Amino acid sequence: MIEKGFKIFVCILFLCCFLCVGIAIGSEDEEDYPQEPIIFTKPVKAVIFDHKVHIENGLDCDSCHDEPFEMAAGTAEENKDFNMKSLYEGKYCGQCHDGETAFASNTRCTLCHIGVKGYNRLTGVKPKGHGGHE
């Protein structure tokens, strides 16, 4: 009788472990992606990227990493072709922002391009000089 109870216990324990590992591997929790938006300052100041918006629209980390973006923030800015022309050609954000998969890179500009004033608001930078100009 003890042997039968032990076998049932081991089976239940195995199933619980299997389910827990499966849930952990398949989930995209808030802890799984950066909570703060990434702000690109090159080649123009400033363009914002928010992981949360993309996760909420059904993407996961593998959707963008390691292609078209490396996992480390800011590495795309180091590339000479990180510009709007490349996006229009289907590189970087343009891989999905093609007008079919997601809105086209040449539309809805202010969703991503926040400019100097938006950058200053997000980072807490106080404008210098007369009239708020840097």
Strand, helix or coil at 116? helix
Residue 115, phi-psi category: left (phi > 0), alpha (psi -120 to 50), beta (remainder): left
Q: Over the stretch 20-72, which tens digit does the pLDDT of each residue have?
A: 544 444 444 556 888 999 999 999 999 999 999 999 999 999 999 999 999 98
Amino acid at 95: Q
- 114 token code pair: 């926040």
| Cβ(27)–Cβ(60) below 8 Å | no
Give the model's confidence band at 127: pLDDT under 50 very low, under 70 low, under 90 confident, else very high: confident
How far apart (Å, rounded) are the C-alpha atoms in residues 130 and 46?
21
Q: Looking at residue 52, what is its pLDDT?
A: 94
- 84 token code pair: 């709007």
Q: Over the stretch 94-112, which tens digit does the pLDDT of each residue have?
A: 999 999 999 999 999 999 9
| Cβ(133)–Cβ(63) below 8 Å | no
Q: What is the pTM of this model?
A: 0.68
Give the model's confidence band at 89: pLDDT under 50 very low, under 70 low, under 90 confident, else very high: very high
Residue 15, phi-psi category: left (phi > 0), alpha (psi -120 to 50), beta (remainder): alpha
| Cβ(84)–Cβ(40) below 8 Å | no
Give the model's confidence band at 15: pLDDT under 50 very low, under 70 low, under 90 confident, else very high: low
- 53 token code pair: 């918006």
What is the fold of 35-132?
Answer: Cytochrome C3 (3.90.10)
The full set of domain ranges for the chain reads: 35-132
- 76 token code pair: 């795309």
